[in-house]
Amino acid sequence: MRQYRRQFRIWLGAMMLLLLSQGVVLQAKTLAYEEHATEVIYNSLKSEPSKSFLKKLYKRVLFLPVWMHEKGLSPAAKDLFAVMRADETLDVHSKLYIDARAMYDEAQQLYLSPSPFLKKMEMEFRISLLYKAYVDYAYFGSINWGAFQARIANLIVNDVSTEWELHRPQVDAVGMVEKALLGVSLKKQLIDAVPTAYHYRALQKSLIHYMHLKAQGGWKRVVLRKTLKPGMRDEGVYSLRERLRITEDYAGCFGSSEDDRYDSCLQEAVKHFQARNGLTPDGVVGPATLRVLNIPVEDRVTTIRLNLDRIKWLNPRQPHRHIIISIPFFRLYFEEDGKLILTMKVITGKPNHPTPIFSDEVEMIVLNPYWNVPKSIIQKEMIPKLLRNPYALKKDNIVIFSGWGKNAKEVDPASVNWAQYRYSKKVPYRFAQLPGYKNALGKVKFLFPNRFSVYMHDTPTKPLFKRDKRAFSHGCVRLEKPMELLKTFASFEKSVELEKAQEILKGKKNVYMKLSERVPVDIIYLTAWVDYDGKLQFRDDVYHYDRMQLQSYKRW
């Protein structure tokens, strides 16, 4: 305790000199309150574990009172309560919100009449714990990442290999309080700490809007007698129109009678809704569209909250150039200074071969690539074919080499006993598909070397891009417009000469182009997102991660 008293007196002396230089008279009574509070706080926390938030917080601030000053709440306390009161994402029925309102009133009451000193110190600790809970809610979120990672590990045991890399939010709750004691506004710090990447703040506004819709009763179910097509009449048209009006998909049209006829005005609203929800925008209200229309507003609020909490744990970088691959949206976005310069459809991993969620950088572009077949595909798909017919892979231009070195020789598949490698830990052969238009990687691939062996590439399976849901790969990302991506790289990358590259692509020569400027790429999993036009988008939970994370989602 002596060392903290000594540090406190040194700090106090410095503050006195500062205040006296500014013409402020520091009252001895205030100093006595501060020192008494420091002693009580120190003694109260002696038995606390070193990892406890209270112990870490007060040790950092030399056991000074943070929230409860002698004659009233501190500026930091007023900032905290003001921020919580203004945070419209807080459910007014939640314990966190109710506790904050009650605690503010109770703290104010302590100053209206003489109150025991220890009552103020008890309130000091309670506000600290409230502050910690709010920081956890607002900046770290409600997903139990440990429980989710355990479920992911269980999937890996069951032969579904996947992973979700986390980037812990860079929010220092203790550090913000320390700065507040030195005069930096806690309110400003809390506002500045709100994420901005991945259109977080726009999605936060959408949450508030949907919470208001929920408070107003949400929307009623749409009931139709059969699939609704243009020109048809149905009593359900009235509820359909009102449903779309509530979510601002329908704004009305001049001359529309708004009766039970499914007119062109309402059709456009349905198409708008379908596009926002990843459905074919054909204007036909069939079972799939009806199912999404009837998702309750409560579920939409939960989905938005869940995705806000995911964004908090994504890589927060906002570089000059940035590639984002959204798995549920099956789409690639190429940003430059936050503005969209290229987008295209993609094909991602199947639910039993999910594309991992992680961050990396594109380092190299390969023209006329070989496809080196992963061990899992060799064992699960190719060895069974070879056991039936040793030359079954020849029609797919797949050759087998004795190893991975430069001097590895081509092997006659009939000379190998493939049964011994069906379930072995190692397969000492390299299976490679020769370059060409039939190659599984198409004519170009974009490498960001990673432990998952995932990359972006062209594909001969072009018809699959016509599907709304495109989870068909073994984990890699297939590109709808690989040549457009190549052109985009060529527009700023000196090592990529477009005309020369196009000439090479006419043949089968395998060429590597190393980039002088690496481009960050983030593979993300968001089922709710505000797009570049400011529209709220929803998508299906293709890997069931929503469901898994909601199983242990914290309620505040």
At 3, is the pLDDT very low, low, confident or very high (cuts 50, 70, 90)?
low
Q: C-alpha 105: how far from its chain's center?
A: 37
| pLDDT at 12 (0 to 100) | 46
Find the mean pLDDT for residues 277-299: 97
- Of the candidates 331, 371, 304, the one whose C-alpha atom is nearest the C-alpha of residue 523 is 331
| pLDDT at 263 (0 to 100) | 95
In contact, 159 and 325? CB cutoff 8 Å: no
Residue type, 251: A
Kindly report the number of other CB atoms within 10 A of residue 527's CB atom: 23
| pLDDT at 473 (0 to 100) | 94
| pLDDT at 16 (0 to 100) | 43
At 18, is the pLDDT very low, low, confident or very high (cuts 50, 70, 90)?
very low
Between 133-142, 427-436, 476-485, the lowest mean confidence (pLDDT) is in 427-436
Distance CA(62)–CA(74), nearest Å, equals 17
| pLDDT at 542 (0 to 100) | 96
Between 169-173, 394-398, 483-487, the lowest mean confidence (pLDDT) is in 394-398
| pLDDT at 359 (0 to 100) | 97
At 158, is the pLDDT very low, low, confident or very high (cuts 50, 70, 90)?
low
Find the mean pLDDT for residues 251-280: 94
Write a three-state SS string for 310-364. HHHCCCCCCCCEEEEEECCCCEEEEEECCEEEEEEEEEEECCCCCCCECEEEEEE
Distance CA(517)–CA(488), nearest Å, equals 13
What digits encode the pLDDT tens for the residues 531-543? Answer: 999 999 999 999 9
CA distances from 349 to 122, 405, 473 (A): 54, 29, 4
SS3 528: strand
At 368, is the pLDDT very low, low, confident or very high (cuts 50, 70, 90)?
very high
What digits encode the pLDDT tens for the residues 500-523? Answer: 999 999 999 999 999 999 999 999
Distance CA(173)–CA(177), nearest Å, equals 7
What digits encode the pLDDT tens for the residues 196-205? Answer: 999 999 999 9
- Of the candidates 245, 498, 473, the one whose C-alpha atom is nearest the C-alpha of residue 356 is 473
- Of the candidates 392, 393, 398, 483, the one whose C-alpha atom is nearest the C-alpha of residue 442 is 483
* pTM as predicted: 0.90
Burial (CB count <10 Å: 0-12, 13-18, 19+), residue 371: buried
Burial (CB count <10 Å: 0-12, 13-18, 19+), residue 147: middle
| Per-residue pLDDT at 526 exceeds 80 | yes
What digits encode the pLDDT tens for the residues 65-87? Answer: 999 999 999 999 999 999 999 99
What digits encode the pLDDT tens for the residues 426-450? Answer: 899 999 999 988 899 999 999 999 9
Active site residues: 457, 476
Distance CA(10)–CA(8), nearest Å, equals 5
Distance CA(258)–CA(253), nearest Å, equals 9
Distance CA(407)–CA(426), nearest Å, equals 20
| pLDDT at 23 (0 to 100) | 43
Average pLDDT over the chain reads 92
At 32, is the pLDDT very low, low, confident or very high (cuts 50, 70, 90)?
confident
| pLDDT at 1 (0 to 100) | 52
| pLDDT at 255 (0 to 100) | 79
* Phi-psi group of 231: left, alpha or beta (phi > 0 → left; psi -120 to 50 → alpha; rest → beta): left
| pLDDT at 331 (0 to 100) | 98
Q: C-alpha 473: how far from its chain's center?
A: 22
Segments in 173-258 forming alpha helices (H): 173-181, 186-192, 200-215, 236-246
All structural domains of the chain: 2-144+170-191 (no CATH), 236-295 (1.10.101), 318-370+438-524 (2.40.440.10), 372-434 (no CATH)
| Per-residue pLDDT at 217 exceeds 60 | yes
